Structure 1
Amino acid sequence: MEEKKVRIHLEKHYWPDEIRARRKRNLGRILASVGLVLTFVFGWVVGSTFATGEPVEETTDFAKLEAIYQIMSEDWYFGKDVLELQTKLIDDAINGMVDGGGDIHTSYLTSEEAKQFNDSLNMGFVGIGVQYYDSNGTYIIERVFRGSPAERAGVLPGDIIFKVNGAEVTGIGSDELAAKVKGENGSIVEIDFLREGVTVSKKITRAPINNTAYGEMIDAETALLEIYTFGDTTGNEVMDILDDFETKGAKRLILDLRDNGGGYLSTLETIGSFFVEKGGILIQQEFINGTTDTSKSSGFVTVDWEKIVILVNGNTASASEVLVAALDENLENKVTIVGTLTYGKGTVQTQRPFSDQSILKYTIAQWLTPSGKKIDGIGITPDVVVELPAIMENGFEPLEEGETIAPDSVHVAIVSLQEALSFLGYDVDRQDGYYSPKSVEEFKKYQATYGTAVDGVLTQEWISRLHADVARVWHEEMDTRDTQMAKAVELIHE
């Protein structure tokens, strides 16, 4: 099978819920494959009960693999019930080999999975321009990208996607929802959202989504640059934004890299060159043979910044961490890092595509900062540590379908409940997961705001409502709630 090497990228990291889902999916694949083999072997061993075949002769490991594949595809009884059996056997075998190394950043992706991965990295698709969270089948808008069709239509963080073109979507798969929302450029999608328990209908005209960065002047000499990912178009987007800043006389910059999980190395090198003088080291890569490759700035600096404050958090990963380290070590006296410890992903991945559009995404190197420091598993500690409210740092712990939490219980989801209630202004007495009488009392007050039964029992439906309300309040009161941004503004003007 012909393969071609393509650009290296510093992979966007998986969110914890994505990692759990991926591990569960891959474990299922591995167990399924192992189960098939064990079933065959067991049937052969107990020969007196089951029919046996002739021993398979093989001279190499690959011959053995081929022989097993042939048996499973031609003679395995239950193979008749498996859709596209041969493709499934190959994919499962590849996944078993790839996942066996224990590297969560190395994976085999089918053509569909590969397209989804690269689309998410580049944000290169036709849609409405939102980021949503799957709360066990309830889809909550967490971010509306600036300048997107969704923003123009008035979609807000905290809105719950209820119906798409008249069809209810609660409980369907995330991929199925994405397929319903995406569509042809210029076409209209009608979405019903739930906002504080009230249905809000929006007709949204789909458009290409390439919003990977945003910039604005927050005062006469201070600029804000947000970079969401390091995709194909991000370098050009950032260049245009910086040119606009130069025209407007910007002297100070707040660079927001929170929740930026990384992207392409080539894009990182381009953006780094907008800040670091020519020849300055941006990244070092350490390969399997012990050699080190150094990438240097091309020197495309347009603004000589007096001061730069960089915002980071636990979801700032990979290429974002590279940029933070490059600016911090090359512009040491100008840069202050604010926020919380970064993710600590210090490895580099590349993609090898195959003729069927599937890809093997695998780790080829470890990256080092310009001064040679390792980041993998360590992260970058900010100069000024500023934490957000607990629920914004920790997120929500989902419940299993049908699971309920009654008063006088201890459960990790109660931590989410207590942190969310505290964020929303309720007087909880603790945030340690014990469902105390006071916590129950405050939760009942919250339930009463929805005009429904007040029983103090926590369910996934209530977690989804809490999540939506937290997202909405965060958006509405961001000027006072975002303590990290407030600290950045304070420091940039010192």
Structure 2
Amino acid sequence: MNVTRGNIMEEKKVRIHLEKHYWPDEIRARRKRNLGRILALVGLVLTFVFGWVVGSTFATGEPVEETTDFAKLEAIYQIMSEDWYFGKDVLELQTKLIDDAINGMVDGGGDIHTSYLTSEEAKQFNDSLNMGFVGIGVQYYDSNGTYIIERVFRGSPAERAGVLPGDIIFKVNGAEVTGIGSDELAAKVKGENGSIVEIDFLREGVTVSKKITRAPINNTAYGEMIDAETALLEIYTFGDTTGNEVMDILDDFETKGAKRLILDLRDNGGGYLSTLETIGSFFVEKGGILIQQEFINGTTDTSKSSGFVTVDWEKIVILVNGNTASASEVLVAALDENLGEKVTVVGTLTYGKGTVQTQRPFSDQSILKYTIAQWLTPSGKKIDGIGITPDVVVELPAIMENGFEPLEEGETIAPDSVHVAIVSLQEALSFLGYDVDRQDGYYSPKSVEEFKKYQATYGTTVDGVLTQEWISRLHADVARVWHEEMDTRDTQMAKAVELIHE
């Protein structure tokens, strides 16, 4: 390959994000937070009116003099930090007031990809892109306080220890973790390089204990030859190290004589623009357009390939789904429009995130992450809110596409009910081989009968009542079966293999 690691890193002069999109639960949380602010504002208005009617309840303060909007903001901050009665009960009141004021300004724009992040949140955000931390190398799902392993990264300490998708994290170093916060769990699992963490997992109702040696986790890509001339490249995110990881993988493919490539970008939510430009240059000849950016003043900036191509691929099949977003979508469009008939896109409609973010850091390590541009494909198409439709649409089993709907703590769903969580139950039971008669959310007698059969496999109460505990068990079993039977269950990958050999 005609490029060194140094060449790649020297070209990364900016830190602009085609960043990972917000997941639906994050969007709901943000909407809930905004609603809380609206209700708080309404409450203040009502309090003012009530105080005016029964004025004896309130003391009248001196008018606040201000000459500019910022002076007003500063005056309100001073009043709240010094004179607000309940301020005595708020930890780090001044910091909270400032952070909430900033969040109010940022959220007021209505852009879910623009946000203010505290120093801790900023570190978590960048770690999620770079996967730059010391831990065990798993991705887990929070099912209302039950933590289910969904992915074990290849070559990670967890994989070496025998951790499997579907395992439920039960105890860490002897302490039960069910119900604790996700951040608290992550803090328990992470630690010093070379240190050992003992984790008890629940696997099909049986406790499995593992002693795992922590190590740096930088697995953002994986590659392997699936036959003599066909290679598989999985890219999980576009982080700081991804360009070099992909370069090493492609060098290995070249050495082994690969001619065809399956590029798996499913569930890749994006990352750094500079990384996208590096990886795009591994596939597109020098000068080919990778991405166009349209800025607030109407100008357009074009990024072109540096031409680091080593393998002249005969055919490339790209796998995508609804979580393929941002930088991943840019790469799909760049390869599709530059390489033409060599490329076939397989899967389901992508997310449709067509904006670019950058970071402004502050002295306390907090950052403002905000949208600076909308991106266009090489031919000038916009995909924001639209997504990319695959050439060949292939859907996975419904539960793998839709996921699980959680229940509130203590909530139960009885037979002859209608609930969105029953859709998850029916889809999961169908995936696991049970003979459900419908998947529309009505808890029919047949659905109850099949669920009772599932309950009986755990040797516990068989009552047909759906709870969050049972949803977590179903989720774990679906993840386990998916992992064990992926060769036959992953219809998208099967289609990619079929097309790559046509």
Shorter-chain TM-score category? over 0.9
C-alpha displacement at 1:28, in angstroms? 3.9
What's the CA shift string for 1:106-146, capped at 9, x where partnerless? 00011111111110111000000000000000000000000
C-alpha displacement at 1:16, in angstroms? 1.3
CA distance in 1, matches of 2:369, 2:52: 37
What RMSD in Å do the two structures reach over aligned CA positions? Answer: 2.6
C-alpha displacement at 1:386, in angstroms? 0.2
CA distance in 2, matches of 1:57, 1:442: 70
1:307 to 300, 315, 320: 315
Alpha-carbon spacing, 1:45–1:306, altered in 2? closer, same or farther (3 Å):
farther
CA distance in 2, matches of 1:299, 1:263: 21
C-alpha displacement at 1:3, in angstroms? 23
2:55 alignment partner, SS class: coil
Range with greater deviation from structure 2 (2-11 or 165-174): 2-11
Contact 2:14/2:274, CA 8 A, preserved across alignment:
no
Alpha-carbon spacing, 1:434–1:76, altered in 2? closer, same or farther (3 Å):
same
The unaligned stretches of length 5 or more in structure 2 are 1-8
Contact 2:289/2:378, CA 8 A, preserved across alignment:
yes
C-alpha displacement at 1:26, in angstroms? 5.0
2:481 alignment partner, SS class: helix
Alpha-carbon spacing, 1:140–1:309, altered in 2? closer, same or farther (3 Å):
same
CA distance in 2, matches of 1:223, 1:4: 27
Contact 2:405/2:421, CA 8 A, preserved across alignment:
yes
| TM norm structure 1 | 0.97
1:217 to 222, 225, 249: 225
What's the CA shift string for 1:42-80, capped at 9, x where partnerless? 657854221111011111111111111111001000000
Contact 1:3/1:355, CA 8 A, preserved across alignment:
no
CA distance in 1, matches of 2:77, 2:275: 41
1:270 to 266, 273, 278: 278
What's the CA shift string for 1:410-440, capped at 9, x where partnerless? 0000000000000000000000000000000
Alpha-carbon spacing, 1:79–1:34, altered in 2? closer, same or farther (3 Å):
farther
Q: Could you list the runs of 4 or more consecutive aligned residues of structure 1 that deviate by over 6 angstroms after TM superposition? A: 1-5
Alpha-carbon spacing, 1:321–1:488, altered in 2? closer, same or farther (3 Å):
same
Contact 2:12/2:274, CA 8 A, preserved across alignment:
no
Alpha-carbon spacing, 1:351–1:78, altered in 2? closer, same or farther (3 Å):
same
The unaligned stretches of length 5 or more in structure 1 are none
What's the CA shift string for 1:144-169, capped at 9, x where partnerless? 00000000000000000000000000
Matches within 5 A, 1:159-308: 159-308=167-316
Determine whether 1:65 maps to 2:80.
no
Alpha-carbon spacing, 1:282–1:17, altered in 2? closer, same or farther (3 Å):
same
C-alpha displacement at 1:4, in angstroms? 16
C-alpha displacement at 1:225, in angstroms? 0.1
C-alpha displacement at 1:19, in angstroms? 2.2
1:183 alignment partner, SS class: coil
C-alpha displacement at 1:319, in angstroms? 0.1
Alpha-carbon spacing, 1:372–1:4, altered in 2? closer, same or farther (3 Å):
closer
1:286 alignment partner, SS class: strand
CA distance in 2, matches of 1:450, 1:313: 33
1:114 to 122, 126, 139: 122
C-alpha displacement at 1:312, in angstroms? 0.2
| TM norm structure 2 | 0.95
Contact 1:339/1:382, CA 8 A, preserved across alignment:
yes
Range with greater deviation from structure 2 (40-49 or 438-447): 40-49
1:431 to 428, 439, 456: 439
Alpha-carbon spacing, 1:2–1:71, altered in 2? closer, same or farther (3 Å):
farther
Alpha-carbon spacing, 1:119–1:457, altered in 2? closer, same or farther (3 Å):
same
C-alpha displacement at 1:277, in angstroms? 0.2
Determine whether 1:23 maps to 2:20.
no
**Count of residue pairs brought into register by the alignment:** 494
C-alpha displacement at 1:98, in angstroms? 0.4
Alpha-carbon spacing, 1:42–1:282, altered in 2? closer, same or farther (3 Å):
farther
CA distance in 2, matches of 1:83, 1:423: 48
Range with greater deviation from structure 2 (8-17 or 406-415): 8-17
Contact 1:142/1:471, CA 8 A, preserved across alignment:
yes
Alpha-carbon spacing, 1:31–1:6, altered in 2? closer, same or farther (3 Å):
farther
C-alpha displacement at 1:210, in angstroms? 0.2
CA distance in 2, matches of 1:121, 1:29: 30
Alpha-carbon spacing, 1:117–1:313, altered in 2? closer, same or farther (3 Å):
same
1:48 alignment partner, SS class: helix
Contact 1:396/1:413, CA 8 A, preserved across alignment:
yes
CA distance in 2, matches of 1:151, 1:307: 31
What's the CA shift string for 1:355-399, capped at 9, x where partnerless? 011100000100000000000000000000000000000000001
Alpha-carbon spacing, 1:468–1:2, altered in 2? closer, same or farther (3 Å):
closer
